[in-house]
């Protein structure tokens, strides 16, 4: 992994995440070889900002981690005619009303998407969420799903002790799996409320959170 203090040459092509937790390492693993980019992680220091502005190509794999830094760097690179791409994980917050800054965020990204040489991609296709076109240029399938299909069809995951236990618990029911960090803003509260209101759902579906 290329750190923020590593020496670098001019004309770099970089992909950046601030931290490596959750899905971020996976994004680096996908984007780096796919687009021939050098992976970089770490806090947004002055040295790193200069490196990003000077890079030939720059991809923010999760722009949500450093929104202000992304805004500033994208604007500077646009003026210099250098291409920048940002992956927007939580565009839905631009359309929520729970916080005072949500409308400001929507307005800012509405302006930002007009910058030349900038591409903002959401991880939800626009045909699923048409409003996201107001704050981004393109909607794509979450990169972590890109390996689900190939020319030979969907791969079959290996069986594990846990998967066998889940299948046994389901006893023929469909299985709904929620993987990763689970929180109210990711819909966990909605799901819990739905199951409480309609307990008969459990007759047909086993819900697994991991």
Instruction: Please give the Cα distance from 89 to 147 (Å, whole number).
Output: 19
Give the count of alpha carbons within 13 A of 179, CB side only: 5
Query: Shortest CA distance to 202 belongs to which of 188, 190, 192?
Result: 192
Q: Along the 210 residues of the chain, how does pLDDT read in single tens digits?
A: 344 333 444 589 999 999 988 788 989 999 999 999 999 999 999 999 999 999 999 999 999 998 999 999 999 999 999 999 999 999 999 998 888 888 999 999 999 999 999 999 999 999 999 999 999 999 998 888 776 666 666 667 788 999 999 999 999 999 998 887 788 777 888 888 999 999 999 999 999 988
pLDDT of residue 148: 67
Strand ranges in the chain using DSSP code E only, listed in sequence order:
13-17, 38-41, 57-60, 84-88, 118-122, 138-139, 174-178, 205-209
SS3 13: strand
**pLDDT value, residue 6:** 39
- Contacts (Cβ under 8 Å, ≥6 apart) of 77: 52, 53, 58, 83, 84, 117, 118
Model pLDDT, residue 154: 65
CA-nearest of 24, 150, 19, 146 to 87 is 24
Buried b (16+ CB within 10 A) or exposed e, 43-57: ebeeebeebbbbbeb
117 neighbors 78 (Cβ within 8 angstroms): yes
How much is the pLDDT for 22?
A: 78
CA angle 116, 118, 124 (to 5 degrees): 135
């Amino acid at each position: 992994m290329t750190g923020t203090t590593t020496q670098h040459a001019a004309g770099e092509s970089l992909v950046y995440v601030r931290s490596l937790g959750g899905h971020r390492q996976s994004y680096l693993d996908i984007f780096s070889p796919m687009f021939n980019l050098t992976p970089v992680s770490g806090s947004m220091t002055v040295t790193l900002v200069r490196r990003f502005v000077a890079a030939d190509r720059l991809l923010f794999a999760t722009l949500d981690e450093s929104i202000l830094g992304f805004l500033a760097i994208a604007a500077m690179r646009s003026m210099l005619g250098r291409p920048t791409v940002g992956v927007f994980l939580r565009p839905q917050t631009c359309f929520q009303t729970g916080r005072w800054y949500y409308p400001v965020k929507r307005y800012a990204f509405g302006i930002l998407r007009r910058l030349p040489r900038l591409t903002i991609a959401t991880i939800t296709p626009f045909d699923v969420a048409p409003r996201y076109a107001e704050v981004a240029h393109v909607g794509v399938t979450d990169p972590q799903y890109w390996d689900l299909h190939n020319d030979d069809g969907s791969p079959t995951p290996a069986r594990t002790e846990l998967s066998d236990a889940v299948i046994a618990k389901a006893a023929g029911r469909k299985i709904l799996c929620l993987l990763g960090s689970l929180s109210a803003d990711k819909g966990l509260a909605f799901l819990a409320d739905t199951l409480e209101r309609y307990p008969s759902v459990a007759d047909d579906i086993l819900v697994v959170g991991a």
